[in-house]
Amino acid sequence: MQGARPGVAKQARTASVEGPTLRRPIVLIGLMGAGKSSVGQRLAERLGVPFADSDAEIERAAAMSIAEIFERYGEPHFRDGERRVIARLLQEPPMVLATGGGAFMNPETRALIAQGATSVWLKAGLDLLVSRTAGRTHRPLLNRGNPRETLARLIRDRYPVYAEAAVTVESEAGFTHDEMASRIIAALEAHGAFLPAPRDE
C-alpha cells in the first residue's frame, strides 16, 4: 500500500509525530450549510489525510454542476450517482469525506457508512443553516420556494435519521472552521476513532 496515495503515505509516516491515525474513514453528514465541505477540508489537513467531497466528485464525473444535473436528469439520477460515488470512496484508504446533505438518507449508503466508516453529524440549528446558505444558488433544493421553510422541513425529516451517526458535533455560530475541526477531533478521540500512538521505547 505504500505510496498508493500521497496523503495516506504522509499520514503513515508522520502519525507518531504529528497526530493521530484514523482507524476508518471519517464521513461528515448534516444539512446544507452545516459546514461539511469547508470544515471537512480543514479537518483533513489537520489529520494529514486526503479530503473528498461527494458533490465535487459527482460534478467532476458528470462534467456539470449539481444544479445542471438536477435540471437535466432529475434528482433520482443525482441520488444514484451520489450513492455510487460514496461507495467507491469508502473503498479507498482512510480519508475525510464530506457528503451532500441527502446522502445519509439513502439506506444503502447509511449501511455502508455504518460498516466501513466513522460518521460525524454536524448538527446545526435553522437560523445558522439559513444564514450560511443565503445568497448561494448552487443548491437546487433551496432555489425554489422559501429556503427557511425547506430547511425547516428537512430538519424535521432528516434529523431523526442523522441521529444514527456515530458522533454528533454541534455546529454553532461563533466557532471558526478551525475551531470546528478541533471540536470534531476531540469528539473523535472520545469515540475511539484513532489508533493508539506508537510508544517510543
Ligand X SMILES: O=C(O)C1=C[C@@H](OP(=O)(O)O)[C@@H](O)[C@H](O)C1
Ligand Y SMILES: Nc1ncnc2c1ncn2[C@@H]1O[C@H](COP(=O)(O)OP(=O)(O)O)[C@@H](O)[C@H]1O
User: Is 54 annotated among the ligand-binding residues?
Assistant: no
Taking CB under 6 A as the rule, does residue 184 contact ligand X? no
C-alpha cell at 27: 464521513
The answer to whether 36 contacts ligand X (rule: CB under 6 A) is yes
For position 37 contacting Mg ion by CB under 5 A, the verdict is yes
The least CB distance from residue 50 to ligand X, in Å, is 18
Q: Under the criterion CB under 6 A, does residue 27 sit at the interface with ligand X?
A: no
Choose among 85, 86, 59: nearest CA to 73: 59
Q: Which of 32, 113, 128, 184 binds ligand X (CB under 6 A)?
A: 32
Query: In the complex, what is the shortest distance from the CB of residue 162 to ligand Y, in angstroms, rounded to a whole number?
Result: 12
Restricting to residues 139-178, which ones interact with ligand Y according to CB under 6 A? 175-177
- Cα gap 35→82, rounded to integer Å: 18
Is there a binding annotation on residue 199?
no
Q: Which residues pair with 21 in a beta bridge?
A: 195
Nearest to ligand X of 144, 199 (CB atom): 144
Residue with smaller CB distance to ligand Y, 7 or 30: 30
